[in-house]
Amino acid sequence: MSHQPGRHFLQIPGPTNVPLPILAATAKPTIDHRSVEFGRLGREVLAGIKTIFKTTNPVLIYAASGTGGWEAALVNTLRPGDRVLMYETGQFASLWARMATKLSLKPEFIRGDWRSGVDAAAIEAHLAEDRAHTLKAVCIVHNETATGTLSDVKAVRAALDRTGHPALLMVDTISSLGSTDYRHDEWGVDVTVGGSQKGLMLPPGLAFNAVSDKALAAAREATLPRAYWDWEDMLAANRTGYFPTTPATNLLYGLKVAIDTLHAEGLDAVFARHARAAEATRRAVRHWGFETQCANEAQASPMVTAVRMPDGHSADAFRAAVLERFNMALGGGLGPLADRVFRIGHIGDFNDLTIAGALAGVEMGFKLFGIPYRAGGAAVAQAVLSGEPPAFREAAE
């Protein structure tokens, strides 16, 4: 079918739906990035983005994907051969570790099971053994979209503090920033990496580094090669609202509106909306008789739920059928989870009806395409989304 009427349900965990006001902002005529007008825009977004990271320190903005943000974090703070402690929560933690190796760093990768978040106790044990303090950074992914797990950043910070280890703490918030509580300063993070295309509700194309004073001090001693990613050049230009290279002007227009939009709803309300959608989705999945890839309810992501398909059924074939029949895109499994899970994104610009519709579409897909399930999961989700009392929800399940 060449045309599918109605709205497209983009229920992947990113890129996410771009609200019309943000989309309209990105369509404004491009201006001279050396003009007085641009300087005002630059100062506004550089100040505004700090409120989303919850920091008073600088946040650097690059025209890049989140992967560029990873690289900027590493090359600005480390030296060739430095040992870096990383934890395998899933696909994106693995890719960050692979990048570290390519950059001539020596990642020490604590193996995980792709069903759990970061084990802070395991990190603490590794740090305690490193009495010579040869580990120079601890790098974790806050929200692992491949598996639907959320890690406890505060617990990792506490592990560093208890051992008295001076390693930098770096956190990937590419899929959590603007969607769940995150506090760069309060949690003692040294470099936070962000991206535009998830909770910030922008198109892909911006990467962020929020940096602590300790990270800035490390940058003065770092010797990994850097040019485009150099914090020093960026910070010098940013002081007056400008950038050392041509910025993504139209995305910065959109970023201003995105920041205003998040504050208009209220960050706490945004986080509660994501948590409610996640609970509704997980309850539906359990009612259907499926498992989530995240095995620990306490570590379940507010942004994405990865659903394990029954044996003998292809997650990718199911996703393709749902897209063709219902015009709904679901996320696929990544790495070793390919064709074994599908992922339901509940992140960015959505409301309760969006989630109710998406889960109804998944359930209709099960019925039409012969996937064994227990009917009624969408109704269970509606009980959560409509705020019905817990006792009613339990009875519905």
3-state secondary structure 277-304: HHHHHHHHHHHHCCEECCCCHHHECCCE
| DSSP state, residue 200 | T
pLDDT for 1 beyond 70: no
What are the chain's domains? 9-16+266-396 (3.90.1150.10), 20-263 (3.40.640.10)
Per the annotation, binding residues are 343
pLDDT for 396 beyond 60: no
Find out whether 229 and 62 touch, Cβ atoms under 8 Å: yes
Helices 231-238 and 213-221 meet at what angle, rounded to 10?
130
Confidence at residue 90, expressed as pLDDT on a 0 to 100 scale: 97
Q: In what order do the strands lie in the sheet with 341-345?
A: 9-11, 328-332, 341-345, 304-308, 291-292
Confidence at residue 227, expressed as pLDDT on a 0 to 100 scale: 97
Confidence at residue 390, expressed as pLDDT on a 0 to 100 scale: 59
For 203-259, give the DSSP string. PS-EEEEEE-HHHHHHHHH--S--STT-HHHHHHHHTTT--SS---HHHHHHHHHHH
pLDDT digits (tens, 9 = 90+) for 24-67: 999 999 999 999 999 999 999 999 999 999 999 999 999 999 99
Residues forming beta bridges with residue 332, ordered by sequence position: 342
pLDDT digits (tens, 9 = 90+) for 229-248: 999 999 999 999 999 999 99
Find out whether 192 and 178 touch, Cβ atoms under 8 Å: no
For range 167-183, the mean pLDDT: 98
Query: DSSP 3-state assignment of 35?
Result: coil
pLDDT digits (tens, 9 = 90+) for 97-127: 999 999 999 999 999 999 999 999 999 999 9
pLDDT for 203 beyond 70: yes
The dihedral of CA 280, 281, 283, 287: what is its sign? positive
Q: In what order do the strands lie in the sheet with 106-110?
A: 59-63, 206-211, 191-195, 168-172, 135-141, 83-87, 106-110
For 37-96, give the DSSP string. HHHHHHHHHHHHHHHHHT-SS-EEEEES-HHHHHHHHHHTT--TT-EEEEE--SHHHHHH
Q: What are phi and psi of 150, to 5 degrees?
A: -120, 130
- Rounded Cα–Cα distance for residues 247 and 224 (Å): 24
- Single out the residue of 196, 184, 233, 195 nearest to residue 76, CA to CA: 233
For 149-187, give the DSSP string. EE--HHHHHHHHHHHT---EEEEE-TTTTTTS---TTTT
Per the annotation, binding residues for substrate are 343
Query: DSSP 3-state assignment of 344?
Result: strand
Give the number of other CB atoms < 10 A from CB of residue 47.
12
Q: Which of 292-296, 301-305, 316-320, 386-390 has the lowest mean pLDDT?
A: 386-390
pLDDT for 370 beyond 80: yes
Q: Is the peptide bond before 15 cis (omega within 30 degrees of 0)?
A: yes
User: Per the structure block, which two tokens stand in for 134?
Assistant: 């040869």
